[in-house]
A and B are shown apart, each in its own frame.
Chain A
Amino acid sequence: MKLFHYIIQGRVWRSIFRTGLPETNYRRSLVILNNFFLHIHPAKVKKSTLKFTTTFYLGGIAFGLYLILLVTGIYLMLYYRPSVPLAYRDMKDLEFVVSNGKLLRNLHRWSAHAMVFIVFLHMLRVFFTRAFHPPKEFNWVIGVFLIIFTLLLSYTGYLLPWDQLAYWGVSVGTNMIKATPIMGEKIRFLLLGGNFVSENALLRFYVLHCVVIPLFLTLLIGVHFWRIRKDGGLQGDLEHYAEYEPDIILGKNIRVEQRESPNQSLVGTGNDENK
């Protein structure tokens, strides 16, 4: 314990984590504010938003799945080559040669399916709890694009095993694109690198799946989270919304009188030492 304190209070540790032990409320808020990864959270949250039944943690679950997919996906990239006979052989290697390769692939596959499903449920939760109300309307739009990116990611990954299921599943889907008026054929050619699903398509889907779409998805997730905070937090109270467009938010039936400044709840005083 003495050693523990020695390390935590030492210069090296304090140069990395400036906050020290989170013994006081002030320092507990600094844990969030001083940390690059955590500072996307507010220092204080409403107790009601922490309840399971408020959100069912669906957004959190979706982000958790994203993290699992990121890690397992990077692992899988070590064992996978996107070319025609090799891609399928690498699948077989994952199954029979690589240690825990099967678990790795299963984890990636089921997480991907779960993410599509959870993201859809998340959308429904946000809709039915009216969490898209102004000022959060644009975050809803970002969310819709996140769903589309999730679907595209899942779909581009679907081709990579290069088995019958993948090949024909993607053939059916990309045939639909052909129906787009005027530029359908061209879009399909661009996507597949040819007129039918071939090695070129595999390479293109691989690049889309591993680089392009994850990049956009990650950026959008960042914006999505950041905007929750900027737009007044999860399920922020109605009065806070009322600053923006009172008659839309509150309907015709209600009139609210504004009270003191809305940002009063920010943590910032250094003498908040009570438990």
Chain B
Amino acid sequence: MTKINKNPLEIEFGEDIQTTPVRVAYVKGETSIAVERERDEEVLAFPHLIVREVLLFEILLIVLVIISLIFDAPLEDIANPLHSPNPAKAPWYFLGLQELLHYFPPVVAGVVLPVLVVIALVIIPYFRINLIRDPFWTGNIRKKFIIFSAVVLLINSPFIIARAFPIYICSAFIYILMVVPLLFPRSSGLAARIRKIPLADWIMIWFVLVSLVLTGIGVFFRGPEWRWVWPWKSGIYY
């Protein structure tokens, strides 16, 4: 009934609970998967979930009504195709793209990079790198460090050539954040926690940081002719 397992990845089945343990998990080394978790306690969706949903919606509505009573949506003069404001800015969520337009030709900033981002997001769950939760800095760290540094440099070289400083500065920041904890080989504390972050998370953190910085620059630091301005000196252009 129970067979001896030669392949450690193969799942063992058993009918009789007395001869086959109900559930056994072998864990080697460090892993972040919550293996010890018991079967979760379950509650009825009504009322527990439904009440929360209704409350959440009501709180959301109240908060938005209060915001709407205090702040008015902008409304400028009627559209005039003959008079373009300077700068002409897109809505805030596209200002990261508009900022890219400052460094790259329109094909790259407006088409290639957004399409790449969408493709990258879509394929996330289909790549093993995103499913494995092992810390990045394991195994042959010296070899990994050299390959990783080369890859980072390679990926960032187009940005350096295009002088897209928000991107390569973010890359450098993340790179330093990843590498510096290697100098502190203690097994606890902040450095140890940073060392445990998997590569997939690092890539996402980098993406979020770049998006935030580009959008932030586009919203706050760009004025007429898309020149750099300080928002506390000349205000926010929109």
**Are A and B co-members of a single complex?**
yes
> Interface of A with B (CB < 8 Å)?
22, 25, 28-29, 31-32, 38, 41-50, 57, 60-61, 64-65, 67-68, 85, 88, 91-92, 95, 102-103, 105-111, 113-114, 116, 123-124, 127-128, 130, 132-134, 136-138, 140-141, 144, 148, 151, 154-155, 158, 161-173, 175-181, 184, 196-198, 237-239, 242, 246-260, 265, 267
Q: Which residue of chain B is the closest to A60 with respect to CB atoms?
A: B56
Q: Which residue of chain A is the closest to B8 with respect to CB atoms?
A: A255
Q: Is the CB of B78 within 8 A of A103?
A: no
Q: Is the CB of B89 within 8 A of A172?
A: yes
User: What DSSP secondary structure best describes chain A's contact surface?
Assistant: helix
Cα(A95)–Cα(B72), bound, Å: 10
Q: Is the CB of B60 within 8 A of A64?
A: yes
**Chain A residues positioned under 8 Å from B88 (CB to CB):** 168-169, 171-172
**Chain B residues positioned under 8 Å from A196 (CB to CB):** 81
Cα(A163)–Cα(B80), bound, Å: 8
Known contacts A144-B118, A251-B134, A257-B12; decide if A176 and B44 are in contact (CB<8 Å). Answer: no
Cα(A249)–Cα(B130), bound, Å: 11
**Chain A residues positioned under 8 Å from B176 (CB to CB):** none
Residue pairs across A and B with Cβ atoms less than 8 A apart, 25 shown, are: A28-B46, A28-B47, A41-B49, A48-B41, A61-B56, A106-B69, A110-B73, A123-B121, A128-B204, A130-B133, A140-B125, A163-B75, A163-B76, A165-B76, A166-B79, A167-B81, A179-B109, A237-B39, A246-B11, A248-B128, A254-B27, A254-B33, A257-B12, A259-B23, A267-B44
Known contacts A140-B124, A254-B31; decide if A45 and B48 are in contact (CB<8 Å). Answer: yes
Q: Is the CB of A32 within 8 A of B46?
A: yes
**Chain A residues positioned under 8 Å from B92 (CB to CB):** 113
**Least distance between B223 CB and chain A CB atoms (Å):** 15
Select which of B13, B41, B238 is within 8 A of A47 by beta carbon.
Answer: B41
Known contacts A167-B81, A259-B22; decide if A44 and B45 are in contact (CB<8 Å). Answer: yes
Q: Which residue of chain B is the closest to A202 with respect to CB atoms?
A: B79
Cα(A179)–Cα(B115), bound, Å: 13
Select which of A41, A45, A116, A184 is within 8 A of B93 by beta carbon.
Answer: A116
Residue B225 at the chain A interface, CB threshold 8 Å: no
The number of residues on chain B lying at the interface, defined by a beta carbon within 8 Å of a beta carbon of chain A, is 92
Cα(A273)–Cα(B85), bound, Å: 69
**Chain A residues positioned under 8 Å from B146 (CB to CB):** none
Q: Is the CB of A47 within 8 A of B201?
A: no
Select which of B46, B125, B131 is within 8 A of A141 by beta carbon.
Answer: B125
Cα(A260)–Cα(B14), bound, Å: 9
Cα(A47)–Cα(B24), bound, Å: 23
Say which one of B94-102, B164-172, B228-236 lies at the interface with A. Answer: B94-102
**Chain A residues positioned under 8 Å from B26 (CB to CB):** 254-255
Q: Is the CB of A246 within 8 A of B9?
A: yes
Known contacts A133-B131, A254-B35, A258-B12; decide if A61 and B60 are in contact (CB<8 Å). Answer: yes
Q: Is the CB of B65 within 8 A of A163?
A: no
Cα(A154)–Cα(B72), bound, Å: 17
Known contacts A28-B47, A44-B43, A176-B106; decide if A169 and B91 are in contact (CB<8 Å). Answer: yes
**Chain B residues positioned under 8 Å from A247 (CB to CB):** 9
Cα(A144)–Cα(B43), bound, Å: 30
Known contacts A169-B91, A251-B132; decide if A257 and B44 are in contact (CB<8 Å). Answer: no
Select which of B11, B47, B75 is within 8 A of A256 by beta carbon.
Answer: B11
**Chain A residues positioned under 8 Å from B28 (CB to CB):** 253-254
Q: Is the CB of B110 within 8 A of A176?
A: yes
Flag B28-60 by CB within 8 Å of A: 1 or 0 each. 110101110101111111111110110011001
